[in-house]
Structure 1
Amino acid sequence: MDIIIRKMEEEDLDRIMEIEKDAFTTPWPKESFLLEITKNQLARYIVAEIDDVVAGYGGIWMILDEGHITNIAVESKYRKMGVGKAIVEGLIYLCNKERISAMTLEVRESNIAAQNLYKKYDFVESGIRPNYYADDNEDAIIMWKKL
């Protein structure tokens, strides 16, 4: 199965909202994604397609020489198929292309699968943001990767 990574487009947003609702208890509103891909000059968003269907997406903000991953989501029926891996690789590629020297992200303390994925790409734990997630006050683990 081929996974195609490409830039997120406005036409993808209805599908992105389906993935958001599947993946998160407090999904971002559609308008937030629209602003990210049309107005935010720091933002880069990509989608992962399988058989012409968007299976997941990822976003990153390029701030000076750092890339801050804002979100990554894969629809549940496409998990464990390499989609998350392809998205992470796509974001790393964008950072290398734009000469970013380090990447960072926050991940739920309970999301061991995501933490393990990031560790495969040499992200390392560097701190905790207590009560980071508004929906349940779960702590976030801060991870960094040098490029």
Structure 2
Amino acid sequence: MAELVIRKMELSDINQVMSVEIASFSSPWQEYIFEQEITQNQHAYYYVLTINQKVIGYVGMWVVLDDAQITNIAIMPGYRGNKLGEKLFGFAMQQAVGMGVSRLSLEVRVTNIVAQRMYRKFGLVPGGVRKNYYTDNNEDAIVMWVNIG
């Protein structure tokens, strides 16, 4: 039976996180960005989703005062479609609520309908558009947000 765990990201996870990152994004972050986020950014909170101790997803967020911003969320392609993204996102929202956050926001590609549907399940609604937000193809991002506190 698979053991599913969501826990705080550690430096030793970054190799596996990079596998998820590269498989998920056309403009992946580099290793040093994750290292800086978890060692130097006092506003950053990153979590990994593991199955049998293998990292198959992660989520990151910045919390400043009572606002949370999701920086990234990704699930390894072979594990998608099993509601693991929902589990991970729900966990991040619970963490944010526990930190006293009252608003949560994120950007999502206009073409990423699957992610938009998932975010709507958590009450997020579109709040605007960031033109040419994604540098790989200049795609617009929809800003979605929700009051959670």
- Which TM-score applies when normalising by structure 2? 0.96
Partners of 1:51 and 1:57 in 2: CA distance: 15
Paired residues in the alignment total 147
Give the alignment's Cα RMSD to 1 decimal. 0.8
- Distance (whole Å) between structure 1 residues aligned to residue 36 and residue 102 of structure 2: 26
Letter in 1 for 2:85: G
| Counterpart position of 1:22 | 23
- Residue equivalent to 2:47: 46
More deviation, 95-104/82-91: 82-91
Question: What code does the residue aligned with 2:143 have?
Answer: I
1:3 CA drift (Å): 2.6
Q: Secondary structure at the match of 1:5?
A: strand
Q: Deviations over 1:54-87 (max 9, x none)?
A: 1100000001110000000111001011210111
Structure 1: gaps (5+ residues): none
The CA deviation string for residues 111-147 of structure 1, in whole angstroms up to 9 with x for no partner, is: 0000000000000011100100011000000000111
> What SS does the aligned partner of 2:133 have?
coil
Structure 2 segments unaligned to the other structure (5+ residues):
none
**Which residues of 2 match residues 70-81 of structure 1 at below 5 A?**
70-81=71-82
Runs of 4+ in 1 over 2 A off after TM superposition: none
Whole-angstrom CA distance in 1 between matches of 2:3 and 2:11 = 23
2: CA distance between counterparts of 1:32 and 1:140? 21
> How far, CA to CA, are the matches of 2:3 and 2:82 in structure 1?
10
Contact 1:3 1:86 in 2 (8 A): no
CA displacement, residues 5-42 of structure 1 (integer Å, 9 cap, x when unaligned): 10000010000111111001110000000000011000
Percent identity (aligned): 41
In the TM superposition, what are the counterparts of 1:102-121 in structure 2 within 5 Å? 102-121=103-122
Shift of 1:2: 4.6
